[in-house]
Structure 1
Amino acid sequence: MTEYLRDSWYCIGWSSQLEEKPIGITVCGTYIVAYRGADGSIIAMDGRCPHRFAPMNLGSVNGDTIACPYHGLVFDRDGTCILNPHGGGAIPPNATLKAYPAVEHLGAIWVWLGTAEHADRSKLPMLEWWGSSDYAVSTGYLRVEAHYQLVMDNLLDLTHGPYLHADTLGGDPANTVGVGMRHEWDTQPGPVLHSNYFVENMPSPSPQIMALVGDIPGRLQARMRWRPASILDLDLRYSPAGGGADAHIPSVHYLAPESDNATHYFFALARNVDITNETLTEMLAAQVHKAFAEEDEPMIKACQSLMGTSDLMSMKPAILQTDAAAIQARRLLKKEMA
């Protein structure tokens, strides 16, 4: 059974998902309900009613309170039962739900599952482009049938792109690996880990970039940043040869582990080119979803299935030079949990 870093922020959904109805989601083996209070703030607590363990996200919200859909017990924003409509109305001492710190930040809903006093908003991602009128943004979600650290490995090592995503995000291997793709990584206090890739003379861009700048050579920079437990953002820039404005394609990748065999993957993609073109936005969003849902997810799932375990390192895998960042992230995560 996986141990999780509970003193961490986990994304449990996009703000647009939390309108009139509560959401229910399992994160780190804990079922959570989240809803908006009377003032619009986010309220999160254990999502199973302590009476018969009914899913609280199917209940009704009234102001700051939420009622169980099964027997009508009502709980306040602190998880305290304030109404038992049955018998004499006595409230059992164990009729409580654990409440969790929750915030809305950069268009996403975040929950801190650990010690409430340790919840630190400075550990949330900071993105200069989010909310800027200079960028078009689309969001998405995918449930990955695999362990979250395998998904994290996949994101920190972009060398799989030209092979697994040749027709979507990665392009022809001859245009990246074949012309000397360079990888650098480093860590910073926080802890923060960077895994960066550079192609100085890319003969032709990937299909994703080609849709923005055309089929022209250029310089590629792909800078991935990871923060525990599983917050990643990618800064992708393509500089056309001969001058011209850079195509900037930043993205975020928020992983919320459900169990040893499932991960919630929330992602967003932005661009600074032709930002009012809704057809282009839809096309790029579909392209990204295809790469994640039809290429990454089946491969990661198949790898874990053939491993027969979610513990990669127990298999004593062959380690490539470009695995360094992913291995270091695992070490940092283990240190944070300790």
Structure 2
Amino acid sequence: MFLRNCWYVAGWSKDYDQTLTAQKLLGENIVLYRKSDGTPAALEDACPHRKLPLSMGKLENDNVVCGYHGLTFDCSGACVDAPTQRGSIPKRAVVRSYPVVDRYRLLWIWMGDPKKADPDEIFKIENFDNPEWGYTDGGTLPIACNYLWIVDNLLDPSHVAWVHVTSFAGGGTDDQPLDMEKTDRGVIVSRWIYDQPPSPYYKDLIRFGGNCDRKQHYEMCFPAIALNKSVYTPVGTGGPGKPAVDQTYVNISYNFMTPVDAHNAQYIWFQHRNTDPDDKAISKKMNDGAIMAFNEDKDILEAVHKGMEAPVTPHLDLGLDLGAKTFRLQLQRLIDAEQAASGST
């Protein structure tokens, strides 16, 4: 069901400390915490004795102590103490550990074979350390739907014309043709819209007046990371292959979807712009607008999940679904190959 040999976002780094935090990711119960030196750790959230969640225990000297009979596990998942039978730790008293890494203000977790976990494969965020770029605080949104419905939504520039009328909509978003491109990391759906008013969300952010040329760049990368780029530039300066001008405004919305299970997903995002790096008021305004818009998506996607789980009549696809269908096919091939390789070893 899920691609496992890859990095997912577990949450925001700031939200993890020396507290045992229980989460379900990809259908697996996990307990996350930090050691006294700040290093993150993640273990299977189940004591091997009677499967009491380890998150119901306590953290003691960087080890997790089960709240039932005191079996104690280090960050590798090895049992280092069995108080009821000291000197005779059961050989099978082991829990799974997961590689975790802090990067880009986010905590990343590897859900597959730990021997294959390479931090260099974490999704790269361009210009993250560029002092000329500003970013928002971002947010976390639980959505009661399969994560692939969110993936579909983030490969669909057209839905903004109906779902986000007061934020991301604008002239041409309802009927301009879309281009699709397959890449080595996923799919890009994009289009240029020429000589139209900017969307309400961006009207006060761009540095020029009047109409604009606008690019919607919706890119989905494996396993489920969306890079949605909005480009606004003065009329006549936009178009394929044209270089940016001094007034060109670029905002990238980074969206990280982590499956919780087949019916729930965790959606984490932030915006990254090429202007106003230190303007907190702009960052707050952008973040508040994004929260409003993404909650509009949440309402739609939860209803879509319910409808597609129990359809009365068959559904149909539209031309705008090509990018999403292509990405799903590529992703499923990766999942099938991963499962085949796992079954052969």
Q: Pick from 195, 200, 207: which aligns with 1:201?
A: 195
Identity of aligned residues (%): 25
Alpha-carbon shift at residue 32 of structure 1 (Å):
1.2
In the other structure, the counterpart of 1:305 is 306
In the other structure, the counterpart of 2:264 is 262
Q: Deviations over 1:4-50 (max 9, x none)?
A: 11122111011111233243211111011222234433222212222
Q: 2:186 aligned with 1:186, yes or no?
A: no
Q: How far, CA to CA, are the matches of 1:27 and 1:18 in structure 2?
A: 16
Q: How far, CA to CA, are the matches of 2:70 and 2:23 in structure 1?
A: 21
Q: How far, CA to CA, are the matches of 1:205 and 1:92 in structure 2?
A: 65
Q: Deviations over 1:161-191 (max 9, x none)?
A: 11100112x224xx1236x6342121123x3
Deviates more, 1:238-247 or 1:19-28: 238-247
Q: Deviations over 1:100-138 (max 9, x none)?
A: 222222221111111122223343211112232222222
Q: TM-score, normalised by structure 2?
A: 0.86
User: Where does 1:163-182 land on structure 2 (aligned, <5 Å)?
Assistant: 163-168=162-167, 170-172=168-170, 175-177=171-173, 181-182=176-177
Q: Which amino acid aligns with 2:210?
A: I
Q: TM-score, normalised by structure 1?
A: 0.88
In the other structure, the counterpart of 2:6 is 8
Q: How far, CA to CA, are the matches of 1:225 and 1:287 in structure 2?
A: 21
Q: How far, CA to CA, are the matches of 1:139 and 1:59 in structure 2?
A: 31
Q: 2:138 aligned with 1:139, yes or no?
A: yes
User: Where does 1:151-170 land on structure 2 (aligned, <5 Å)?
Assistant: 151-168=150-167, 170=168
Alpha-carbon shift at residue 58 of structure 1 (Å):
4.6
In the other structure, the counterpart of 1:60 is 58
Alpha-carbon shift at residue 192 of structure 1 (Å):
2.6
Deviates more, 1:54-63 or 1:25-34: 54-63
CA contact (8 A) 2:194 2:235 kept: no
Q: Which amino acid aligns with 1:166?
A: V
Q: Pick from 69, 78, 81: which aligns with 1:80?
A: 78
Alpha-carbon shift at residue 157 of structure 1 (Å):
0.8
Q: How far, CA to CA, are the matches of 2:277 and 2:68 in structure 1?
A: 47
Deviates more, 1:112-121 or 1:133-142: 112-121
Q: Pick from 203, 228, 252: which aligns with 1:210?
A: 203
Q: Which amino acid aligns with 1:183?
A: L
In the other structure, the counterpart of 2:230 is 236
Computed over aligned residues only, the root mean square deviation of the Cα atoms, in angstroms, reads 2.4
Q: Flag structure 2 segments of 5+ consecutive residues without an equivalent.
A: 237-244, 337-345
Q: How far, CA to CA, are the matches of 2:173 and 2:157 in structure 1?
A: 11
Structure 1 consecutive aligned stretches of length 4 or more whose deviation exceeds 4 Å? none
User: Where does 1:37-48 land on structure 2 (aligned, <5 Å)?
Assistant: 37-48=35-46
Q: Which amino acid aligns with 1:155?
A: L
Q: Flag structure 1 segments of 5+ consecutive residues without an equivalent.
A: none
Q: 1:327 to 1:45 in 2, by over 3 A?
A: same
Alpha-carbon shift at residue 141 of structure 1 (Å):
0.2
Q: 1:99 to 1:131 in 2, by over 3 A?
A: same
Q: How far, CA to CA, are the matches of 1:182 and 1:14 in structure 2?
A: 37
